[in-house]
């Protein structure tokens, strides 16, 4: 097998599109990164890809927006992941991808670089085609505007810290660029649920794929949980995307949070596969 290094979202998409579309839901993050890098280059000024070929056929690969983690693509041929790992010379902070390909990549890459693998987050990817309406929650839905930028940033940062279970679990400058681009986007955005003139829950949407879009992050402050606000805002954002013509909605859940996994399934989200984020650390 041969591995080619490609730069720029247009070239990377041309090279990897067919293998990504073998499973659009599994690869919604990769497809969404490509779309965001094209539409909002200020968010991801650099995007590179690795293309694994078996003869003339593309059988695997990966995408990265340095300095962030490498995102592994599900392979369609044996040994494609190992060939990818052997070709990545970059010093990676970590990697993310569906299971089992992420585990195979992490093991091969860590062995080749004398590193250990530490799991940071275990998640599950869900896909929805038809929304099941939730029970009514008090309050109402609206889309966030530019005047909500500080609030959205604070909630996105809180979500990142909860997911990674450490303070400062985010790059502040990168997150602000992401929030500003999301609020300025004609495709992405943020939905807010308000009750008694207070924003009590939030759900973002962005990273479009050919037939769908990713929902998230979803965040409700601890003091406001257990009242149906997160369910309501997720349903409202999902409904909006379906009304706009999206055939599919995707989201990621933290496997350590059984409540959110149950809520999303009641809305009609169906599990696709598990996904894992790993870090590479010195032995």
Residue 40 has pLDDT above 60, yes or no: yes
Q: What is the mean pLDDT of residues 102-118?
A: 97
Write out pLDDT tens, residues 115-135: 999 999 999 999 999 999 898
Q: What is the pLDDT of residue 165?
A: 62
Query: From edge to edge, which strands make up the β-sheet containing 212-219?
Result: 2-7, 48-54, 57-64, 70-72, 94-98, 270-282, 115-128, 248-254, 212-219, 198-206, 189-195, 140-143
Measured in whole angstroms, the distance separating CA 118 from the mean position of its chain's CA atoms is: 19
Read off the tokens for 210. 């050919």
Q: Which CATH number fits domain 131-267: 3.40.630.30, 3.10.150.10, 3.30.470.20, 3.90.850.10?
A: 3.40.630.30
Tell me the average pLDDT of the chain: 94
Q: What is the pLDDT of residue 162?
A: 86
Write out pLDDT tens, residues 8-26: 999 999 999 999 999 999 9
Instruction: Give the residue extent of every domain in the chain.
Output: 2-124, 131-267
pTM for the full predicted model: 0.93
Write out pLDDT tens, residues 51-100: 999 999 999 999 999 999 999 999 999 999 999 999 999 899 999 999 99
Q: For helices 229-243 and 258-267, what crossing angle results, to 10°?
A: 40
CB 141 within 8 Å of CB 192: yes
Write out pLDDT tens, residues 133-177: 898 899 999 999 999 999 999 999 999 888 876 555 567 888 998
Q: What is the pLDDT of residue 167?
A: 54
Q: What is the pLDDT of residue 238?
A: 98
CB 214 within 8 Å of CB 29: yes
Residue 198 pLDDT grade (very low, low, confident, very high; cuts 50, 70, 90): very high
Q: For helices 149-164 and 172-184, what crossing angle results, to 10°?
A: 130
- For residue 267, give the 3-state DSSP assignment: helix
Q: What is the mean pLDDT of residues 234-261?
A: 95
CB 105 within 8 Å of CB 275: no
């Amino acid at each position: 097998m041969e591995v080619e290094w490609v730069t720029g979202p247009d070239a990377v998409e041309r090279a990897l599109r067919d293998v990504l579309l073998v499973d659009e839901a599994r690869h919604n993050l990769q497809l969404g990164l490509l779309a965001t890098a094209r539409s909002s280059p200020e968010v991801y000024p650099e995007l590179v890809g690795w293309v694994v070929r078996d003869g003339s056929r593309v059988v695997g690969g990966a995408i990265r927006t340095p300095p962030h983690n490498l995102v592994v693509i599900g392979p369609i041929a044996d040994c494609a992941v190992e060939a990818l790992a052997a070709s990545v010379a970059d010093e990676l902070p970590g990697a993310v991808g569906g299971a089992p390909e992420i585990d195979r990549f992490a093991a091969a890459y860590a062995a080749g670089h004398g590193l250990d693998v530490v799991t940071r987050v275990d998640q599950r990817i869900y896909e929805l085609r038809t929304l099941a309406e939730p029970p009514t929650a008090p309050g109402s839905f609206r889309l966030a505007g530019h005047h909500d930028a500080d609030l959205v940033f604070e909630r996105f940062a809180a979500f990142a810290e909860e997911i990674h279970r450490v303070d400062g679990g985010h790059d502040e400058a990168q997150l602000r660029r992401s929030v500003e681009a999301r609020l300025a986007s004609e495709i992405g955005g943020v939905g807010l649920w308000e009750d008694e003139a207070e924003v009590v829950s939030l759900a973002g949407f962005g990273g479009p794929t050919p037939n769908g879009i990713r929902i998230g992050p979803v965040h409700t402050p601890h003091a406001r949980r257990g009242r149906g606000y997160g369910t309501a805002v997720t349903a409202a954002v999902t409904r909006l995307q379906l009304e706009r013509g999206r055939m599919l909605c995707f989201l990621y859940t933290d496997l350590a949070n059984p409540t959110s996994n149950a809520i999303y399934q009641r809305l009609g989200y169906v599990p696709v596969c598990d996904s894992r984020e790993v870090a590479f650390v010195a032995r």
